[in-house]
Amino acid sequence: MQKEFTHPGPVLDEKGVPNPGYSTRSILTYERKAIKASPFRIKEWDFYQVSDQNMCLQFTVGHASYAGQVGIMMFDFTKGEMLVDKGNFLVLPFNSLHLPENAEQDHVISYHKKSVDLSIEAKRNTRNLYCKWEDFEANIVLTRQNMNSLVITIPFDEAPTAFYYNQKINCMLADGVVKYQGKEYYFSPPESFGILDWGRGVWPFHNEWYWSNGTGFVGDKIFGFNLGCGFGNTQAATENILFYGDSVSKLGEVVFELESDYMKPWHIYDKEGRLDLIMTPTYDRTTRTKLLWVNNCCHQLFGSFSGKVILDDGTELKIDNIVSFAEHAVNNW
């Protein structure tokens, strides 16, 4: 049994202890001032990804208090070609990025420094992503198609005040253009999709996770999923969920089976027979970050997903060649 929040309340109690569980809307209140931990341990990020059948664009704005990053990455995962990889590392940024305490309320994130002009504006059901960085310019609009999302509070066994408060928003259609070195790259609906990975928390220095998120169409309805395991104590709620049309279906634990060669097929399934997917990779976007105490490595594999899922009402959906990603991360930060 998973704990679903249906009424407002705090993410952290008066002692800074997290209230574990999940919701499909931003119901709980997160306040940075309620955290009972060293300010050097607070981590916050907004990560946006826009992709179609061939290309992927990523916006990253985040920090681990003592180190941060503002970055842009774009690559062709069918050709295995990195096109753009720009990043500014920030030393001791703490809360200078002014990241929002609520992912669904209207807000603006902006970063302007020398040759970088980056802004992210959330307003009602849309997200406007803009970046001008030297010879690179992107202007993308994401529009939500399903107002449900995955919002989860995860505790950690290592410390009572450690927590991960996270929201995943997918099922967003993407529309816009990227200009780079005299070329233009278009993201257009209904073949282009966006996701938001929004995270706030305090967790152990060493951590590891598996994560997969995707959006596509099954028949004439939009379909999306968020799947993950390995991170924190998920007894009260998992991060596994399915979106179909305007509905949502919650899953229990999932298993990621893969070989030491990341480019071999991945098998992702649950323990109740409601999820059975094979991801066939085409590109391994490996990122390694070493800065001060940070030592992170992530293998993000892009490819096609095929298999089946069963919704809460018993409907079985056949998944055929939805293009997205699955990743394995080992981080020390």
Enter the DSSP assignment of 272: S
Any residues with CB less than 8 A from the CB of 277 and at least 6 apart, and which? Answer: 267, 268, 269, 305, 306, 307, 308, 309, 319
- pLDDT for the residue 282: 96
Tens-digit pLDDT profile for residues 2-48: 999 999 999 999 999 999 999 999 999 999 999 999 999 999 999 99
- pLDDT for the residue 215: 98
- Residue 297 lies inside a defined structural domain of this protein: yes
Q: Distances in Å between the alpha carbon of 72 and those of 38, 87, 152?
A: 29, 6, 26
- pLDDT for the residue 213: 98
Tens-digit pLDDT profile for residues 313-333: 999 999 999 999 999 999 887
Q: How many domains does the chain have?
A: 1
Tens-digit pLDDT profile for residues 102-157: 999 999 999 999 899 999 999 999 999 999 999 999 999 999 999 999 999 999 99
pLDDT band at 62 (very low <50, low <70, confident <90, very high): very high
- Residue 222 lies inside a defined structural domain of this protein: yes
The span from the CA of 89 to the CA of 41, in Å, is 17
Tens-digit pLDDT profile for residues 225-271: 999 999 999 999 999 999 999 999 999 999 999 999 999 999 999 99
pLDDT band at 295 (very low <50, low <70, confident <90, very high): confident
Give me the domain span that covers residue 228: 10-332
Beta strands 126-133 and 316-332 are unpaired
- Residue 313 lies inside a defined structural domain of this protein: yes
Question: Would you state the structure tokens that stand for residue 7, as one six-digit string?
Answer: 């009424």
First-to-last CA distance in the chain?
32
Where residue 132 sits, what CATH number does that domain have?
2.40.370.10
CA nearest to 203, candidates 94, 333, 12, 20 = 333
CA nearest to 164, candidates 180, 151, 173, 149 = 151
The span from the CA of 144 to the CA of 196, in Å, is 11
Enter the pTM of the model: 0.96
Q: What is the largest CA-CA distance in the chain?
A: 55
- Residue 155 lies inside a defined structural domain of this protein: yes
Q: DSSP of 224-267, one letter per residue?
A: EEEEEESSS--SS--S-EEEETTEEEE---EEEE--SSTTSPEE
Q: Count Cα atoms within 13 angstroms, Cβ side, for 275.
A: 26
- Residue 23 lies inside a defined structural domain of this protein: yes
Dihedral sign from CA coordinates of 256, 260, 262, 263: negative
- In the predicted structure, residue 294 carries a pLDDT above the cut 80: no
- Residue 1 lies inside a defined structural domain of this protein: no
- Placement of tokens 């992170």 in the chain: 296
pLDDT band at 92 (very low <50, low <70, confident <90, very high): confident
- Residue 4 lies inside a defined structural domain of this protein: no
Decide: helix, strand or coil at residue 188. Answer: coil
- pLDDT for the residue 91: 84
- Residue 26 lies inside a defined structural domain of this protein: yes
